[in-house]
Amino acid sequence: MINQILFLFGLYGFGVYFGLIFKRQIPCAFIGVTGFLWGTLFWVVGGIFFKIVSIPYTPVSMIGFFIILAVVFSIIHIKMNTWQLSRSELTYLLLMAIAFILVLVIASIFNLSVGSTDSIANIFLGRRIAYEGHSEAFFQELSLLGVYLPQLQSASIFLGDDYLYAAQPAFAYTFFLIYLYLSHQVIGNLFSDKRVALALTFLTGLVLFSTYYMVWQVFYIHNNMISAVYLFVAVSTFWLASIEDKYSWMIFALLGLMGFSLARIETPIFALIFLVIVISFDQFSYRIRLISILPYLFILSISL
């Protein structure tokens, strides 16, 4: 249990560390609530990268991958002088970290996971990744599912657990916070009265997250919640990028679109359609759109 808690919390912390690179353009509140998304996305992309370059997928190789990324991010932090945090930023991030680890602890103590045949398939595909690597037989089975959840579940073998039972509640908790934050940001741009924006945010959040379907998804080991949270982040941050004219929002939008594309086998089609619609608008220069889209298309092409 403790290994899983530390692993998922480590991914959250790594995602926050990455997000802080953009803290001068992006609110620290957004960075604090989305850290888990970027940390797990790096884990999944790292596993795919090792398949492409034929490097064994082992705990040592993954640790080495994250160390290299941490060094790169540290150099960027030093160069941009973003490693220094104000007292308010530090307090906020510490509170967010404490809340996140409490969610992991509770989810681990009270394992309420539910599943289906798809859940079992994702878990066993993940275990096969850890034991066999990315074999041809594996890809034949993966053609019926997305790569994200099996790749993430493969970490359970390294941790000595049967499966990652705390991952789904962590995604659900992240989705809840992201929904409240981004909904308030979007509604706040539409209504000048902050009280109206706040009331609408909580009312819509209450309606959404009080439904039985959403409560079920909190514990359901599947890619539904994963694809939903990444798509919501992608759409909301693309919109904020166009309204606030901030290029940094585009980076997180494309990362969200990448997570959405890897979550299910059919999502790349919808992601590309959405991307074509977005880039057809001229809020950003041709150069910025090109720089933003090419890395996404490259990673997507080698992942499929």
pLDDT tens, position by position, 219-259: 999 999 999 999 999 989 988 888 877 778 888 988 999 99
CB contact burial 192-217 (16+ within 10 A = b; e otherwise): eeeeebeebbeeebeeebeeeebeeb
Considering the chain, what is the average pLDDT of its residues?
87
The structural domains of the chain, with segments of one domain joined by +, span 2-303
Task: Indicate if the pLDDT at residue 153 is higher than 70.
Answer: yes
> Which runs of consecutive H residues, i.e. helices, occur in 53-114?
59-80, 87-109
Distance CA 291, CA 18 (A): 19
Give pLDDT, residue 99: 96
Give pLDDT, residue 157: 93
Decide which of 107 and 287 is more confident: 107
Distance CA 143, CA 203 (A): 39
> What average pLDDT score do residues 143-164 get?
89
Task: Indicate if the pLDDT at residue 208 is higher than 80.
Answer: yes
Distance CA 15, CA 18 (A): 5
Decide which of 265 and 177 is more confident: 177
Residue 304's pLDDT band (boundaries 50, 70, 90)?
A: low
Question: How wide is the angle at C-alpha 85 spanned by C-alphas 42 and 232, nearest 5°?
Answer: 40
Reading phi first (left if > 0) and then psi (alpha if -120 to 50, else beta), residue 285 is in: beta
User: Are residues 155 and 42 in contact, defined by beta-carbon separation less than 8 angstroms?
Assistant: no
Q: Both tokens of residue 17? A: 């560390």
Give pLDDT, residue 244: 79
Residue 52's pLDDT band (boundaries 50, 70, 90)?
A: confident
Residue 158's pLDDT band (boundaries 50, 70, 90)?
A: very high
Task: Indicate if the pLDDT at residue 263 is higher than 80.
Answer: yes
Give pLDDT, residue 227: 93
User: Are residues 150 and 226 in contact, defined by beta-carbon separation less than 8 angstroms?
Assistant: no
Give pLDDT, residue 191: 79
Task: Indicate if the pLDDT at residue 193 is higher than 80.
Answer: no
172 closest CA partner among 8, 28, 303, 23? 8
Task: Indicate if the pLDDT at residue 67 is higher than 80.
Answer: yes
List phi, psi (to 5°) of 220. Answer: -80, 115
Give pLDDT, residue 275: 78
DSSP letter for 207, please. Answer: H
Neighbours of 139 (CB within 10 A): 11
Distance CA 288, CA 172 (A): 32
Which residue type, as a one-letter code, is found at position 95?
L
* Exposure of 246 in the CB half-sphere (CA atoms within 13 A): 15
